[in-house]
Chains A and B, each alone.
Chain A
């Protein structure tokens, strides 16, 4: 398998990612995370993340080149996340990408972070069986600490429709906040997963945001996790006021069930409504065991083919950005203009910034 050799840089949140791909072959995927620095604050602090990016970017670039065994001179193009994401964090990656481009003369593609999450599943390491192509319409559910988006991807580079997104907290954020309520450390996702293991998911019926008929009229594919978080807080406070020992496992399992139920319920509904029997999951929350399991069960029941990228490509990474860049190069697209900047609210319909 051959294709354009592209280096991708991702700095939209708390992960400094540099990846190198040759077409759809994954050659390097280096990730430096500042997660531990955010732990004491219970969430990503933008300035802390941006500082960490500047410290990590040059070593990450060097490591990616070493791992891939390529030189910058061998590359066909560079790609960088232009948005959406934290503006100050994005700018570190864009600055580095423009410095590389100025020194090498390579074309630079400023690409969409969310499209990267979808494109991630096109990549496989050398020697492994290539990933199936994304040549049929697919519904994509992208869930992370910063995003909760449901997309209809008819063509990765040309036709992506936003079906819905969160109207308040991202799902990953809800995990972090509820973990804090339960006295569990940050990041909340893996902690809640662990705590929920021996819990009863049906112990407490927490609300499923935007699933009532009147909400579905306007927000059929949108998500809301703020009310759920408040419901958990109320439940915990009441137990506390009544002097009861908090059944952490049951609360964690019931909360996780509510999140997974809404996420997968709406995603599968989109597949059915749109007659698109293919669902792709992406984003860090895919690491959650219950979310994956429920997706498998409901997709099997609805006759929907499910694809989940390898976990190291689900969380934020530079390889997925390189994958989109490689697709754009292969399709003969012109690179971004020299004056693009960070767009923290870049719409998913904009795959490549001008």
Chain B
């Protein structure tokens, strides 16, 4: 059983079980209130699922890509929760959760997942389908591009939310397949915005 947290778009939390599926899932779409809502979402899904911290096997954390400030809130909360629960933290590429959810509905074919990177740019990942473990096969990405440079694909999902329940199930499938989870390292895909200015004359 896993607690799953993602703040790469809005803020989302879920409790999932490999056998029983999604036990509780909650999300707040607001992209400016991650720090405000993250704690309440975690306690709410645990309460709703009737699950105690000791019942959890690990914490699945969406590592983006996503706008930095919000992304960090969920990752910090997830890592601290995992530390306090003495459970491992597992990284999941957030786009993988969106792709897995899309393949639930229609399991075949190529798929492009696109999310907002702000500053008139987009994050994108290209998938080929599901593998034997039920995991989306990512052929390219996640990458950052201007809208015109994002590859054109017939099936494209412009996601404004990342489902924490599916993110948790992706982590469960990674574990069940005996694969290594993604490192719990944020995918910013952009350097910090800094310019080195030379001192200007004042006189």
Q: Report A's interface with B, CB cutoff 8 A.
A: 40-41, 45, 47-48, 50-51, 53-54, 57-58, 61-62, 72, 87-88, 90-104, 108, 180-181, 230, 233-234, 237-238, 338-342
List 21 A–B pairs whose Cβ atoms lie within 8 Å, in order of A's numbering.
A45-B194, A47-B193, A51-B186, A51-B192, A57-B79, A58-B80, A62-B83, A88-B68, A91-B34, A91-B72, A91-B73, A95-B34, A98-B35, A98-B42, A100-B81, A100-B84, A233-B199, A233-B202, A237-B201, A237-B203, A342-B35
Which residues of the other chain, B, contact A340 by a CB distance below 8 angstroms?
36
Give CA–CA (A54, B199) in the complex, Å: 31
Contact residues of A: prevailing secondary structure: helix
A-B contact count (CB 8 A): 126
Number of B residues with CB within 8 Å of any CB on chain A: 37
On whether the beta carbons of A95 and B199 are closer than 8 Å, the reply is no
On whether the beta carbons of A94 and B203 are closer than 8 Å, the reply is no
CB-contacts of B65-115 with A (<8 A): 68-69, 72-81, 83-85
On whether the beta carbons of A102 and B46 are closer than 8 Å, the reply is yes
On whether the beta carbons of A230 and B202 are closer than 8 Å, the reply is yes
On whether the beta carbons of A57 and B68 are closer than 8 Å, the reply is no
On whether the beta carbons of B39 and A101 are closer than 8 Å, the reply is yes
On whether the beta carbons of B202 and A95 are closer than 8 Å, the reply is no
Q: How far is the CB of A155 from chain B (nearest CB, A)?
A: 29
Q: Which chain B residue has the least Cβ–Cβ distance from A342? A: B35
Which residues of the other chain, A, contact B46 by a CB distance below 8 angstroms?
102
CB-contacts of B19-50 with A (<8 A): 33-40, 42-43, 46
On whether the beta carbons of B203 and A99 are closer than 8 Å, the reply is no
On whether the beta carbons of B80 and A100 are closer than 8 Å, the reply is yes
On whether the beta carbons of A50 and B79 are closer than 8 Å, the reply is no
Which residues of the other chain, B, contact A40 by a CB distance below 8 angstroms?
196
On whether the beta carbons of A95 and B77 are closer than 8 Å, the reply is yes
Q: How far is the CB of A52 from chain B (nearest CB, A)?
A: 10
On whether the beta carbons of A98 and B192 are closer than 8 Å, the reply is no
CB-contacts of B175-190 with A (<8 A): 186, 188
Query: Which of A87, A88, A103, A230 interacts with B80 by CB under 8 Å?
Result: A103
Query: Which of A41, A103, A181, A238 interacts with B85 by CB under 8 Å?
Result: A103
Given A57-B80, A97-B80, 18 additional A-B pairs, CB 8 A: A47-B193, A47-B194, A51-B192, A53-B76, A54-B186, A57-B76, A58-B83, A91-B34, A93-B76, A95-B35, A98-B38, A98-B42, A99-B39, A99-B77, A100-B83, A102-B39, A103-B81, A338-B39
Q: How far is the CB of A224 from chain B (nearest CB, A)?
A: 16
On whether the beta carbons of B72 and A95 are closer than 8 Å, the reply is yes
Asked if A234 meets B202 with Cβ closer than 8 Å, knowing A61-B80, A338-B40, A341-B36, the reply is yes
Which residues of the other chain, B, contact A338 by a CB distance below 8 angstroms?
39-40, 43
Which residues of the other chain, A, contact B81 by a CB distance below 8 angstroms?
99-100, 102-103
Give CA–CA (A341, B32) in the complex, Å: 10
On whether the beta carbons of B203 and A48 are closer than 8 Å, the reply is no
Which residues of the other chain, A, contact B201 by a CB distance below 8 angstroms?
233, 237
